[in-house]
Amino acid sequence: MALKIGVKSFTYALISADTVAGGTIYGTPVAVPGLNSIKLSSKFDQQNYFADNVLYDSMSMLGFYEVELTLADLDLDTQAALLGHTITGGVIQRLAADQPPYVAIAFVALKSNGKKRYTRLLKGRFFVPDDENATREDKIKLADGTLKGIFFARVSDDALVQQTDEDQANFNSATAAAWFTAFGVADSTPPSISSVTPANSATSVAVGTTVAWVFNEALQPTCMTKDNFFLVKDSDGSIVAGTLALSNGNKTVTFTPSGNLTAAAVYRPVVGTGVKDLAGNALAAQSVTKFTCA
C-alpha cells in the first residue's frame, strides 16, 4: 500500500465557456511554482429513509469540493488571474464588484512507492484570501500564501474530478504526459478505421502483399497484438503467421505475412475491439474486410 508523501506542480487554466452544446473551453494552462499543500474536502448531500422503525435506505450525491492550498509565494499576477482583479502600472487593484473567473486546476501527489497520482478539478472559483502580516521576532517565521475555493461539476458533461495513478494496472503514460496541457472535455469518442489496404473486396492482389490499417487517431501501442490484428485464410479459417508494426504517429498498423500468400485464395483482415485510442476508448465493433489474391 502506497502512501502520499508530497505534492507539486500546481497548474491552472481559465475557462472561457462551459455549455452542453459547445463543451468546456479552457485557456492556456499556467504553472505556479511553490505548491506547499492542497486539501480537498468533499461535500455530499445525504438523505436517509426510515421504514419499519429502522434506517431502510440511504442515498448520497457528491455536490462539490472545498479546496484550500498554500503556495510559497502567492504573487500579485496569480492573484489577479485567479481572483478577477487588474494590475495597472505594477499595482493590483481590487474592486468590490470584481468576480473571480471559472478555472480548472491540476497537481501531482508523490507516493511512498515512487509513483505519482495525478489530479484535476475541472471547474471552480477561488475567493479573496486573508492577508496576515507579523513582525520579525527572535526566531524566523516563514509565511506563505493561502487560497480557498469551491469546485463543482462542469455543465458540459457533469464531470468534477479526474485522477490517475502511475501504479494502477491500466495507467496510460500518454494521458499523464498531457495532464497539464489538455484540460478539455475528456475524449469519449472511439477510434475508427479510415482505410484498409488492400481495399475491401479487392481482387488480383499480389501474393506478397502486406495489410495496413489507417486509423483516424493515435492508438495505444500496447493494443498492437495478434489478438487485435490478424489475417484469416477463408478456405480453412487458419490464421496467417506474420509480424505487426506501428507507424505514422501510432495511427497506422501494418501486418507483414511471414511468407507469400496463396494464389487465388480469399483472405480476411480482422481488427478486434481490444484496440484503444490514447484516452482508452475502444473500437466500437470488430472490423472484417476481404481480398482475393491474384
Looking at the fold, whether 223 and 271 belong to one and the same domain comes out as yes
pLDDT in tens, the chain (294 residues): 778 889 999 999 999 888 887 788 898 899 999 999 999 998 888 888 999 989 989 887 788 899 999 998 888 999 999 999 999 999 999 898 999 999 999 999 999 999 999 999 999 999 987 777 777 777 756 556 789 999 999 998 888 999 999 988 878 887 888 898 877 766 678 999 999 999 999 999 999 999 999 999 888 888 999 999 999 999 999 999 999 999 998 899 999 999 999 999 999 999 999 999 877 789 999 999 999 999
Looking at the fold, whether 147 and 11 belong to one and the same domain comes out as yes
Looking at the fold, whether 132 and 222 belong to one and the same domain comes out as no
Looking at the fold, whether 160 and 221 belong to one and the same domain comes out as no
Is 0.75 topped by the overall pTM? no
Q: Which of 241, 244, 242 is nearest to 252 (CA)?
A: 244
Domain that holds residue 164: 4-177
Looking at the fold, whether 152 and 86 belong to one and the same domain comes out as yes
Give the CB-side neighbour count of residue 211, counting CA atoms within 13 A: 27
pLDDT at 140: 58
Looking at the fold, whether 9 and 112 belong to one and the same domain comes out as yes
Task: Give the domain-ending residue among 120, 149, 177.
Answer: 177
What is the distance, to the nearest Å, from the Cα of residue 140 to the centroid of all Cα atoms in its chain?
Answer: 42
pLDDT at 185: 62
Looking at the fold, whether 148 and 49 belong to one and the same domain comes out as yes
Radius of gyration of the chain (CA): 27
The answer as to whether 184 is a domain residue is: no
Looking at the fold, whether 168 and 240 belong to one and the same domain comes out as no
Work out how many domains the chain is built from and give that number.
Answer: 2
The mean of the pLDDT values for the chain is 90
| Tens-place pLDDT, residues 234-278 | 999 999 999 999 999 889 999 999 999 999 999 999 999 999 987
Give the three-class secondary structure for 176: helix
Task: Give the domain-ending residue among 177, 201, 226.
Answer: 177
The answer as to whether 89 is a domain residue is: yes
Looking at the fold, whether 110 and 218 belong to one and the same domain comes out as no
Task: Give the domain-ending residue among 148, 177, 206.
Answer: 177
Looking at the fold, whether 203 and 235 belong to one and the same domain comes out as yes
Give the three-class secondary structure for 265: coil
The answer as to whether 167 is a domain residue is: yes
Looking at the fold, whether 125 and 242 belong to one and the same domain comes out as no
CATH number at residue 248: 2.60.40.1220
Looking at the fold, whether 36 and 108 belong to one and the same domain comes out as yes
Positive or negative, the CA dihedral 228, 230, 235, 241 is negative
The answer as to whether 221 is a domain residue is: yes
Give the CB-side neighbour count of residue 173, counting CA atoms within 13 A: 4
